[in-house]
Amino acid sequence: MKPSFKHARFFLGLILTFVFTQVVNAQVGKLYPVDEAAKDPSFFAFRARLLKAIQMKDASFLLSIVDPKISNNFGGDDGIIHFKRIWHPERPTSPVWTELSAALVLGGKFDKDQSFAAPYLFNSFPEDLDAFVHSAVIEDGVRVRREPNTRGTVIRTLSFDIVKLGEGENKRSPADKREWVPVELADGQKGFVASEYIRSPIDYRAIFEKKNGKWVMTAFIAGD
């Protein structure tokens, strides 16, 4: 029996639905976590010690691994003196502890010069995507909500997707005490992702190099 026009239209509809679903689910692309620290046992041990120091807020150890010429920003404020002035690591409430921990726990990658960059987003992000326009979801099963709060309608679930940022600034919800990042999905829908589940590739990253047999942090910087 020859297929009728009705059958052809039905199958075409299925194909178009499949393609549309794939586009929606794919968003801009995927960026899965990478951690190459174990490739160098000396760095692996060093990072473990640094994470312990961060947990204990051990300023002495942190400063001992900061390179004297560390890059702190793009304004020329390089060096350990400026690092101390910017971060005040002697203070238990210094944001350096949360920012550095957030960068390290996401894992990282070695570069061609054998330096190590954490988190992995910095040197894994696709070069053809504008880092100021896109960010990466860093967890599995992250909910995109229509409104910027935990009671908002869930419009999509993303897992390690690269997404386009939406217009406007982040929103803070007094009810759940969270910050929400606006995003725009591949199908044009606009929503919000809780800030702890999404990260920009040009957010704070730490760069480590081995000098005279010792691992040191040569940059802790954000922006581009």
Mean pLDDT of the residues in the chain: 90
State pLDDT tens for residues 14-52.
333 333 444 444 578 999 999 999 999 999 999 999 999
Q: What is the pTM of this model?
A: 0.84
pLDDT of residue 17: 39
173 pLDDT band (50/70/90 cuts)?
A: confident
Identity at 26, one-letter amino acid code:
A
pLDDT of residue 12: 40
* pLDDT above 70 as % of the chain: 88
Give me the residues paired with residue 126 across strands. Answer: none
Question: String of b and e for 33-59 (b: at least 16 CB within 10 Å)?
Answer: bebebeebeebeebbeebeebbeebbb
Q: List the single range of 4-13, 45-54, 166-175, 192-201 with lowest mean pLDDT.
A: 4-13
pLDDT of residue 28: 84
pLDDT of residue 206: 98
What structural domains does the chain harbor? 37-123+202-221 (3.10.450), 134-199 (2.30.30.40)
Spatial neighbors of 90 by CB under 8 A, at least 6 apart, are: 59
SS3 77: coil
Reference 223, options 73, 90, 79; nearest CA is 73
- Report the pLDDT averaged over residues 193-214: 97
What is the β-pairing status of strands 214-221 and 66-71?
parallel
Asked if residue 59 has pLDDT above 90, the reply is yes
pLDDT of residue 102: 97
SS3 1: coil
DSSP per-residue codes, 191-224: EEEEGGGEE-TTS-EEEEEEETTEEEEEEEE---
